[in-house]
Amino acid sequence: MFDFDLRRAQRNGTEITLAVIDIDFFKNYNDTYGHLKGDKVLRRVALTLKKHLNRAGDYACRIGGEEFAVITMDMSPEQSYKLLEKIRKAVEDLKIEHSASETSSHVTISVGLYCGVPPMNTTVNNTFRKTDSALYNAKQSGRNRICVYDGSVTEQIRL
């Protein structure tokens, strides 16, 4: 599906947003609370994503383990960042206990964000690599935050 969206954005010269979301220290969560509770966390995070994606054509999906992707079209970088910040805060506000986290006493997420008009020569894999590098930066710089790819990786201060 993302391949279709990426090609459409390239063809129309419109902005596309790809966010990769990782639940912070999720392995520690599963090791501490068990996989059944871990599955409940995955469902609650997924429902939180769904709740915040209100426009037709915006969607979220699980891409493996504790990682999710959010794809939106026709949002400015500022709008995309604000949406992902609302999601980040909403997950934090769930107040799901996580005593094994090194970031917080509750479940949190880290987000890598790519937003822009994709160049004609870019690919899905290239876009995911850029977004993943922003996610890596978010995790390396303390987690529970959003980092944006903008040609290099730049940490964004929470709004």
pLDDT, tens only, 115-139: 999 999 889 999 999 999 999 999 9
Q: Whole-structure pTM over 0.85, yes or no?
A: yes
The answer to whether the beta carbons of residues 30 and 11 sit under 8 Å apart is: no
Q: What pLDDT sits at residue 155? A: 47
CATH class belonging to 2-155: alpha beta
For residues 115 and 78, what is the distance between their CA atoms, to the nearest angstrom?
9
Listed as ranges, residues in the chain with pLDDT below 50 are 153-159
The answer to whether the beta carbons of residues 148 and 134 sit under 8 Å apart is: yes
Q: What pLDDT sits at residue 151? A: 62
For residues 39 and 98, what is the distance between their CA atoms, to the nearest angstrom?
14
Q: What pLDDT sits at residue 49? A: 97
Q: Catalytic amino acids? A: 66
The answer to whether the beta carbons of residues 93 and 86 sit under 8 Å apart is: no
- E strands, the chain, are 16-23, 59-64, 67-73, 109-116, 146-149, 153-155
Q: What pLDDT sits at residue 159? A: 33
